[in-house]
Amino acid sequence: MNSLNQKLDEARKNLYSAVLSDTLDSMGLLIQVLEPGIRPIDESKVLCGWARVGLYFPIYHDDETVNVYEHELKLIDSLKPDEVPVLICHGLKHIAPWGELLSTRAEYLKAGGCITDGSVRDVRMIREMGFPLYAGNISPLDTKYRGKLMWSDVPGKIHGVSVQSGDLIFGDVDGVLVVPGEHVETALEKAFEKVSQENVVRQKLQEGQTLEQIFADHGIL
């Protein structure tokens, strides 16, 4: 395991979206947290991994020429460990690109989870699997007749935030954010340092120190 993968595993275990958001703010990266509306289907599951972007277009029919699943299946089958499909449906909730069978394949490939601004289905089974899945909606609809993945590994935008393959996706119960690939190592190092500082502050609060004194001493709240 290389050092960046080790940091990713540490991030999954020890970081949280608020500390990463604060860290990105301190780096001048102010538009990295997704707008509200995408939620985990299981709030205990952390989403953490490298983005693989897929763009869906709306469709309104299906026949032998459409081949609705062709690009979607190639994207999922190509996933490497810790990669996270970022399936952009442009807010169209009638497109549901993810379900239990894709989760099963992605879990086998050791993917880091999946996120979509569209809908997902088979939620009960995916919760039982423990697969980290974040979505804009829940619906039994299939993509067939409704949407087709047309492009993958191209730049996209999801809930107000630009994303491209190789960026770091991190999500927990508070929200989801994107760390641009070129800033990942610096952001993780700063976030780990901030967690350590917050642990010290938390202990001092538990010992009875005032918020004003702690902020004066440490500049952290």
- Give dist(CA 52, CA 167) in Å, integer: 8
Residue 9 lies in a domain: no
pLDDT by position in tens, the chain (length 221): 567 888 999 999 999 999 999 999 999 999 999 999 999 999 999 999 999 999 999 999 999 899 999 999 999 999 999 999 999 999 999 999 999 999 999 999 999 999 999 999 999 999 999 999 999 999 999 999 999 999 999 999 999 999 999 999 999 999 999 999 999 999 999 999 998 887 777 777 888 877 787 777 777 66
- Give dist(CA 148, CA 102) in Å, integer: 15
**Is the distance from CB of 56 to CB of 118 less than 8 angstroms?**
yes
Residue 170 lies in a domain: yes
Domains: count for the chain: 1
Residue 19 lies in a domain: no
Residue 178 lies in a domain: yes
DSSP assigned state of 182: G
**pLDDT of res. 220:** 67
- Give dist(CA 38, CA 107) in Å, integer: 21
**pLDDT of res. 2:** 67
Residue 220 lies in a domain: no
**pLDDT of res. 216:** 75
pLDDT tens for 149-159 read: 999 999 999 99
Give residue 46's identity as a one-letter amino acid code: V
Residue 139 lies in a domain: yes
Residues in the chain: 221
**Is the distance from CB of 126 to CB of 143 less than 8 angstroms?**
no
Q: Look up the CATH number of the domain holding residue 139.
A: 3.50.30.40
Domain containing residue 87:
33-182
